Amino acid sequence: MIFLRHPKPDIGEGICYGRTDMDIADIGHVQIEEALRTTPKITKLLSSPALRCRKLTLSLAQRDGIEPIFDERLWELDMGDFEGVRWDTMDREQSNNWLSDPINASPPNGEAFGDLQKRVLAAIEDHMEEPHETIIVICHASPIRAVQMAWQNISFHEAFKQLPPYAQPIKLLPPSIT
């Protein structure tokens, strides 16, 4: 299974965004063109419905002549009250409470990472029907990390050491295939 994070979003550096829906930055169009060159032919295409994912998804779908499947469960983590706030200006007590146990705790009015992981894994499992399909999943950094944690048996901190690159294929195999 191949995962691609959306192209670079059109938002300032250092601003927290999760469920905030936004367009891609100018460089995102270049990233889509590169993804079209480096992503193998697809038999099934799953995607978050976010606009920043949709643009890459529709380009790949058109290239391969397939109908994409948009699944709400592939959205990024809901950052609640932190959405649109600069990381360096967040209330430290609130962010520290969340970061003390991000799997089970959530940002104020947001979502815990464990809940994101459950919904993302359920979405992927629901669409894994044929063992020889080339399935592409276009989503966000947190869903990719959630899958890495589950399929590669790595910790939250290990998964968050490296940020998935924008619009570049990442091959991940389910545990039964590895």
For the cut 60, the answer to whether the pLDDT of residue 177 exceeds it is no
Look at the pTM and tell me if it is higher than 0.75: yes
Token pair of 56, please?
Answer: 């890459």
Domain range list for the chain = 2-171
Token pair of 78, please?
Answer: 């809901």
Question: What residues contact 20, with CB distance under 8 A and at least 6 apart?
Answer: 11, 83, 84
Class of domain 2-171: alpha beta
Q: For the segment 84-134, what is each residue's pLDDT rounded down to a tens digit?
A: 999 999 989 988 888 899 999 999 999 999 999 999 999 999 988 766 678
Q: Would you give the distance in Å from CA 29 to the centre of its chain? A: 18
Token pair of 126, please?
Answer: 């629901």
